[in-house]
Amino acid sequence: MAMELVWPYVVSASNPSVNGFLDWAKNQKNELYKLKYQQIFWYLQAIINFRTGVRYNQPLLKSAARRIFAPIWSARRHPIYQAIEIADEEQLIRLRPEIRQIIENNSVVAWSGWSNQHQGLDAILEEVNKTLKTLIPSIPAQKHWEMAARNCTKFMKLRKKLFATMGYADSESSGPRSRPDYEEESQRFRIRLRKTGFLNPNLNHSFEGLDKNNKLSVQMKSFSNKAQAQRINYIKGKFGLIKSEPTRSIPVTFDEAQLQSSESSLKKEEIVFAIENLIGSLNEAKRPQFRGLRTKKKRNY
């Protein structure tokens, strides 16, 4: 899709260049094109950069990629990832510079020994956990876990030696990773994009998906700005700079936006927040009866 985003500029420019494309893209008014440009060159590229930063142990690239992608956690309601991202940032900020540098430089490890196969520590622990599970019964007791964990390295060496004696090829990778061939599928997709003119900003397409079955919500036209604003408010709320307010996912489709606007889709915290705002406009003499609204239980009639 990235190549198809560039293609309209290439065919319209007499002397195409990278800087020329960037200037051309900034001046586009087509909302669908602008959305896809952000999705591909901002967020998807951030994922690619993060994976590259992990594999080749490039802390600055990894950190930059996380910052670019972070608004997504606030845009689509991922509270666990929101909390992890802010907690990690806060911890790193509070550390002494030399300690922070050590942590950032050693947050990934080349478990396989290959310089282009670094992994995050959580991924390595998951691999170790999977290995341990191959050494214990299907319904293990605590002693089985302890036995496997204490002797894992010895068991795996014995396994490797046994396989070598038997002439059995170990399925575990011992060289550079291979990539699946996706060229044919990619070409089919590009042909479809080119044929429909889906990414051509000069065509007046409806603001909808490629299959034309789902109209996109108006909120998607300012997705990045809204996502960044929600992330900022989340951070300020966490640090007590502003009162935390309930937020909603930015709706992707028109139908999702319609559903969000209905009262039946309101969550408890959203209803309480709206009522509390209304209470603020009441006479002070009437406010005491509404105290403790958040802790009141539902009555059965």
Q: What is the mean pLDDT of residues 19-27?
A: 95
If asked whether residues 16 and 159 sit together in one domain, one would say: yes
- pLDDT band at residue 10 under the 50/70/90 scheme: very high
Query: In this structure, are 46 and 154 located in the same domain?
Result: yes
Q: Point out the domain boundary residue: 144, 166, 188.
A: 166
Statement to judge: residues 63 and 130 lie in one domain: yes
Residue at 193 is within a domain: no
- Higher-pLDDT residue of 184 and 24 is 24
Residues 136 and 61 in one domain: yes
Average pLDDT over residues 67-71: 95
Same-domain status, 46 and 136: yes
- Is residue 79 in a domain? yes
Domain that holds residue 265: 209-295
Q: 239: exposed, middle or buried (C-beta count within 10 Å: 0-12, 13-18, 19+)?
A: exposed
Q: Is the Cβ–Cβ distance between 229 and 75 less than 8 Å? A: no
CA atoms within 13 A on the CB side of 249: 17
Note the pTM of the prediction, 2 decimals: 0.73
Higher pLDDT among residues 215 and 104, named by residue: 215
Do residues 11 and 160 both lie within one domain?
yes
In a domain, 199, yes or no: no
Distance CA(4)–CA(192), nearest Å, equals: 10
From 166, 183, 218, give the residue that closes a domain. 166
Assess whether 158 and 98 both reside in one domain: yes
Domain assignment present for residue 188? The answer is no
Same structural domain for residues 58 and 147? yes
In-domain check, residue 203: no
Residue 175 domain-assigned (yes or no): no
Are both 141 and 24 inside the same structural domain?
Answer: yes
Q: Residue 176 pLDDT more than 60?
A: no
Query: What's at 22, amino acid-wise?
Result: L
Residues in CB range of 197: below 8 A, 6 or more apart: 203, 205
What type of residue is 290?
F
Question: Does 202 map to a domain?
Answer: no
- Same domain membership, residue 77 and residue 17: yes
Which is higher by pLDDT, 207 or 126? 207
Q: Are residues 156 and 234 in the same domain?
A: no
Is the confidence at residue 9, as pLDDT, over 90?
yes
Q: What is the pLDDT of residue 120?
A: 83
Structure token pair of residue 295: 């802790």
Spatial CB neighbours of 137, under 8 Å, sequence gap ≥ 6: 144
- pLDDT of residue 58 exceeding 60, the answer is yes
Q: What's the chain's average pLDDT?
A: 85
Please indicate, yes or no, if residue 301 is contained in any of the structural domains: no
Quick: pLDDT tens for 254-278: 999 998 887 666 777 767 766 666 6
The DSSP bridge partners found for residue 208 are 215
Number of domains in the chain: 2
Same domain, 155 and 263: no
Q: How confident is the model at residue 191 (pLDDT cuts 50, 70, 90)?
A: very high
Judged against a pLDDT cut of 60, whether residue 175 lies above it is answered with no
